[in-house]
Structure 1
Amino acid sequence: MKNYKLIFAVITVALVWGTTFLAIRVAVQTIPAWFVAGIRQFLASVIMLIVLLSRKEFKWIGWKNLGYQIIFSSLMLIVANGMTTVAEETVSSSLASLISASSPILVFLGSVAIGLQKFSFKAFLGVLMCFSGILFIFWDGIKDLANPDYRMGIIFLFCAIAGWASGTIFTKKLNIQSGNISLNLFYQFLFAGIVQIIFAFIFSSHYNFENWTLKSISAMIYLSVFGSVAAFFAFHYALTKISPVQVSILAYINTIIAIFLGWLIMDENITIKFILAAILIIMGIFIINYKPEMFRKQKAG
């Protein structure tokens, strides 16, 4: 009998995380990026608190665990998510999604550097393909880097993937048990939301709330409810049914969806070289992560 809950969870993760880059691009059209990121995470923390209270699971997690959650939140929400949001003020959603898709390169190289993973010819080939893909991205657009706003957007994107990679490596290195996912998420979302809203008032040159359009506000709420809460729940449900390696395949689908939606809805320019770059990066990441068990059914526990 088919597990329809699993199918729904997988489809949710693939579709929702594939749409977040577009939603961010829509949100930052009239709302300063740090407000988008901060309100998104703070609203997500409120939703998580309601869930925890309804389940009677809300409690103090202790200073040590709180310290871990603050580190995760800083790297993966404040830096990775926050800087991706800031970057999309000047960079297209399709380009942001493609550069973000290359984060496993840094995860792999960082893991090799600290001895968590061994280097291999297969991995070297994958890294080479990824870098070739990144070269294709900037082949014709190198002159665009002369634009300071665009250049800062690209720098923010690379800072974002460095933050995501660092958070992933930190998790691997410490081998921390997930515990109560909802509880940990609440503290992560709350910390990130507060810090990012403070950043919004400090770094936003203008934040006239009257200029915020309904379309941008709706995109921000979508990011919070679906991008931060629903997709994460679906992701962790999928992890209980299939292997992490199999779930990782969703990252490739997310990128394809994000590029397609950017072209379809935002009329973003997609060139042949951009498509070649996407193919090279996705194939490179696949080669780095490939394991035979990716396509095997996981035995029931």
Structure 2
Amino acid sequence: MTAAERRPTPAALIAGFLAIYLIWGSTYLAIRVAVETMPPFLMASMRFLAAGGLLSVWVAVTGGFRATPKQWLDNALIGGLLLLGGNGLVCWAEQKVPSGIATLIISVSPLFIVLLDWLMLVVGKDETRGTRPALATFAGLALGFLGLALLVGPDLGHHAGGLDPWRVAGLVLACLSWGAGSIYTRYARAPAAPLTGAAIQQLTGSVWLLVVSIGMGEPGHFHLAGVSGRSWLAWGYLVTAGSLVGFTTFVWLMKHSTPARVSTYAYINPVVAVFLGWLLLHEAVSPRIFVAAGIIIAGVAIITVAKNKKSVPASKGSLDPSRPAAVAAAVAAPAKE
């Protein structure tokens, strides 16, 4: 038995889970710090260009970078949905929205995946391209959206201390884009090596982000001398920890644990993000935010448990690392992603 085939020790598994909890729980804080002095879409483009370039080199050295033109096209579309829509809009929103609040809003992404999946079944009338939600899933949806309304409703507006409605709308649109990208990965043509798909998604995602950045005039107002040291550190953290270390740890855990256990990051990351935002950036945390967070996390937990019960057993669950959705989620998540 080789070292790679040996069952990891409990300590190694605990360390792996702590890594994805802490790393992905801190990425929203890092984004908030990075966009203090860096344009959001340009910052994200630079991040995924660097991470995608490093990952491409690794793939080429270890197994060969092979993908057909159709695979490039499909993964480029995934990169646009997940990294431009799902991540770029988050970076843009976090210029005005606290990192903890942004994390909690984005944590409802599974709700949009369920709704889009159901919509495909209703519109297409094809059970191979859609899923009918279970009764428990409807309860999870209701809880999740109730928590979201409680979180942003009272503070929505341009009054002092209020949340910018356009930035909040951007975060909701990011959830929708992430859901669409995640569903599309089920039907996309993927390269044989999952890492190749991840590299393509990051490289093409960086191009999508750059196009939007240019369209918004960001490069014309960007000056290297104006970027603070802490913004550079945050950007470097997003490239190395968020996109590379977090991803490899995720894939390793998926090989040695179960999808249900690995999916617990969806509940832990928002808690970590809110705590770090309060501790390091002095973001306000009220009892209402705690209650809303609890309701949202409960809703996501119900949906995840219901989905795991319907999925195939063993390690072939909704977080299968051979699927580009899981790969992209690990790269762009904080959550993701």
Fold-level similarity (TM above 0.5): yes
Q: Is the 8 A contact 1:27 1:220 kept in 2?
A: yes
Alignment of 1:84-95 (within 5 A): 84-95=90-101
User: Would you say 1:191 and 2:204 are equivalent positions?
Assistant: yes
In 2, Cα distance between the equivalents of 1:145 and 1:129? 28
1:36 corresponds to which residue? 43
1:18 to 13, 25, 30: 25
| Cα drift, residue 221 of structure 1 | 1.0
- In the TM superposition, residue 199 of structure 1 has moved relative to its aligned partner by 2.7
Aligned: 1:266 with 2:266: no
The CA distance in 2 between the partners of 1:244 and 1:237, in whole Å, is 12
Task: Give distance in 2, aligned partners of 1:170 and 1:161.
Answer: 14
Q: Which residue of 2 aligns with 1:244?
A: 259
TM-score (ref. length: structure 2)? 0.81
Distance 1:291 1:131, change over 3 A: closer
The answer to whether the 8 Å contact 2:157/2:163 transfers is: no
Residue of structure 1 in register with 2:248 after alignment: 233
Q: Contact conserved, 2:47 with 2:239, CA < 8 A, in 1?
A: yes
Q: Which residue does the alignment assign to 1:68?
A: 74
| 1:36-77 superposed Cα distances (whole Å, 9 cap, x missing partner) | 10110011012113312432x233301111112112111111
Pair 1:171 & 2:185 matched: yes
Residue 212 of structure 1: aligned partner: 227
Aligned partner of residue 38 in structure 2, secondary structure: coil
Report if aligned partners of 2:254, 2:315 keep a CA contact under 8 Å in 1.
no
**Which one of 284, 302, 306 corresponds to residue 287 of structure 1?**
302
The amino acid of 2:140's aligned partner reads G
SS at structure 2 position matched to 1:290:
helix
2:86 maps to which residue?
80
CA displacement 1:85-131 (0-9 Å, x = unmatched):
11101111001100000011101111122232223321111111111
Q: 1:123/1:149 Cα in 2 relative to 1: closer, same or farther (>3 Å)? A: closer
**8 Å Cα contact 2:75/2:190 also seen in 1:** no
Query: Could you list the per-position Cα deviations for residues 167-225 of structure 1 after superposition, in whole angstroms to 9, with x for gaps in the alignment?
Result: 111123x2766731222222111111233233323312721221101110110111011
The corresponding residue for 1:103 is 109
Contact 1:6 1:237 in 2 (8 A): no
Percent of paired sites with the same residue:
26
Distance 2:163 2:273 in 1: 22
1:3 Cα offset (Å): 4.6
Separation of aligned partners in 1, 2:307 and 2:49: 40
Structure 1: tracts of 5 or more residues without a match: none
TM-score by length of 1: 0.90
Greater shift after overlay, 179-188 or 218-227?
179-188
User: Does the 8 Å CA contact 1:73/1:192 hold for their aligned counterparts?
Assistant: yes
Task: State the distance in 2 between where 1:176 and 1:12 align.
Answer: 31
Deviation of the 1:251 alpha carbon = 1.0
2:155 to 141, 145, 164: 141
**Equivalent residue number for residue 180 of structure 1:** 193
Specify whether residues 170 and 245 from structure 1 end up closer, same or farther in structure 2 by C-alpha distance, changes over 3 A only.
Answer: farther
Give the secondary-structure state (helix, strand or coil) at the position aligned to 1:95.
Answer: helix
Unaligned 5+ runs, structure 2: 1-7, 122-129, 317-337
Distance 2:108 2:151 in 1: 12
The structure whose RCO (Cα within 8 Å, separation 6+) is larger is 1
Of the three residues 123, 135, 140, the one matched with 1:126 is: 140
Deviates more, 1:114-123 or 1:71-80: 114-123
**Aligned residue type for 1:268:** E
Give per-residue Cα distances to partners, 1:118-150, cap 9 Å, x unaligned.
233211111111111111112421334899992
